[in-house]
């Protein structure tokens, strides 16, 4: 087994490799003056099962191209099997045509990894599970739910209401709630433009005088969660907590959160931590054990779904 890390989140790859008792295969990454990338693997990959880790955080296009180049390098170095490990898969929100003359960019990203030479893809909490169908080989969709629910149970017991920020997140929220034994509430919203959210409809569920935990797959510019938290407080919520897998925190997320009704935010370390001082209070839960267990199961040709009791099938 070999693990190769791109430059977007090397700390995560190092932690996973350490958990597995191996060291990273040093990828010597260089940039030409015009921005082109070049790499050379530091050691032989001939006959190896190679896992190339790269989370698609900002700058997303650079992260994607770098991972494709690393995959191509491993393929040309005669690696036996290449797995693209993408804790956060870039462009996952563009998984369908919502209007005319639009691309399906998530499919394009999968095609890029395929053509580069990936035999398998691993990702965590895809925006929609249907993205797995864009890849013709094995696609392991890991879920952070066991890690996050254990953390929530330890921190809050079952004395809270789990809130879905929109109708599309209801199924995932129901799974979370079932594992924790708590009630759920649902917020209806309309989205007039990208990254602009306007809550127009009411909240389904009882939130008055209760701790409300909003569950989402990612926090980008924080428009959704800030609007949702305002509605929850308006309906009498005691406090509002947000839990999400991917904490992107793109500008102006920090400013919005600082001015919002949100009392606490919990994310995983699928992307590097933000250096925004407005986000210094964000709690980070590690998914290193989850990734290491999945990589070990793939390497040993064991079931990945068994690690999640089948709850990763979506």
Distance CA 62, CA 138 (A): 25
Q: How many residues does the chain have?
A: 314
Q: Count CA atoms within 13 Å of residue 56 on its CB side.
A: 24
Peptide bond into 275 cis (omega under 30): no
Using DSSP, state whether 54 is helix, strand or coil: coil
Dihedral pair phi/psi, residue 3, rounded to 5°: -120, 130
Contact between 267 and 245 (Cβ < 8 Å): yes
Of the candidates 145, 177, 151, which has an alpha carbon nearest to the alpha carbon of residue 265? Answer: 151
Q: How many CB atoms lie within 10 A of CB 263?
A: 16
Residues with catalytic annotation?
189
Q: Residue 3 contacts by C-beta under 8 Å, 6 or more apart in sequence?
A: 13, 16, 17, 20, 22, 24, 25, 50, 51, 52, 53, 295
Which parts of 232-285 are beta strand (E)?
239-247, 264-268, 283-285
- Residue that has been written with the tokens 């919520």 in this structure: 237
Identify the H or E element spanning 19: helix 10-20
| Burial label, 155 (beta-carbon count in 10 A; 0-12, 13-18, 19+) | middle
Q: Residue 310 contacts by C-beta under 8 Å, 6 or more apart in sequence?
A: none
């Amino acid at each position: 087994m070999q693990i190769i890390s791109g430059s977007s989140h090397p700390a995560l790859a190092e932690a996973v490799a350490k958990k597995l008792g191996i060291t990273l295969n040093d990828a010597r990454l260089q940039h030409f003056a015009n921005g082109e990338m070049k790499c050379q693997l530091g050691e032989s990959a001939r006959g190896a099962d190679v896992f190339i880790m790269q989370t698609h955080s900002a700058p997303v296009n650079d992260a994607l191209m770098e991972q494709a180049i690393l995959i191509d390098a491993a393929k040309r170095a005669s690696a036996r099997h290449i797995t693209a490990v993408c804790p956060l898969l870039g462009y996952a929100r563009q998984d369908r045509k919502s209007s005319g003359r639009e691309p399906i960019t998530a499919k394009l990203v999968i095609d890029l990894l395929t053509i580069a030479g990936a035999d398998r893809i691993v990702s965590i909490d895809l925006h929609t599970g249907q993205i797995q169908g864009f890849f013709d080989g094995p696609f392991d969709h890991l879920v952070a739910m066991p890690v996050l629910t254990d953390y929530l149970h330890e921190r809050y017991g079952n004395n809270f209401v789990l809130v879905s920020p929109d109708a599309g997140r209801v199924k995932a929220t129901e799974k979370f709630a079932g594992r924790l034994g708590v009630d759920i509430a649902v917020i209806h919203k309309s989205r007039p433009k990208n990254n602009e959210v306007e809550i127009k409809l009411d909240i389904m569920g009882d939130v008055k005088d209760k701790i409300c935990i909003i569950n989402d797959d990612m926090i980008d510019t924080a428009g959704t969660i800030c609007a949702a938290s305002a509605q929850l407080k308006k309906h009498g919520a005691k406090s509002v907590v947000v839990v999400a897998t991917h904490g992107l925190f793109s500008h102006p997320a920090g400013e919005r959160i600082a001015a919002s009704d949100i009392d606490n935010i919990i994310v995983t370390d699928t992307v590097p931590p933000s250096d925004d001082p407005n986000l210094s209070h964000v709690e980070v839960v590690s998914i290193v054990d989850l990734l290491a267990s999945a990589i070990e199961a793939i390497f040993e040709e064991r079931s990945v779904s068994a690690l999640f009791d089948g709850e990763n099938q979506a």
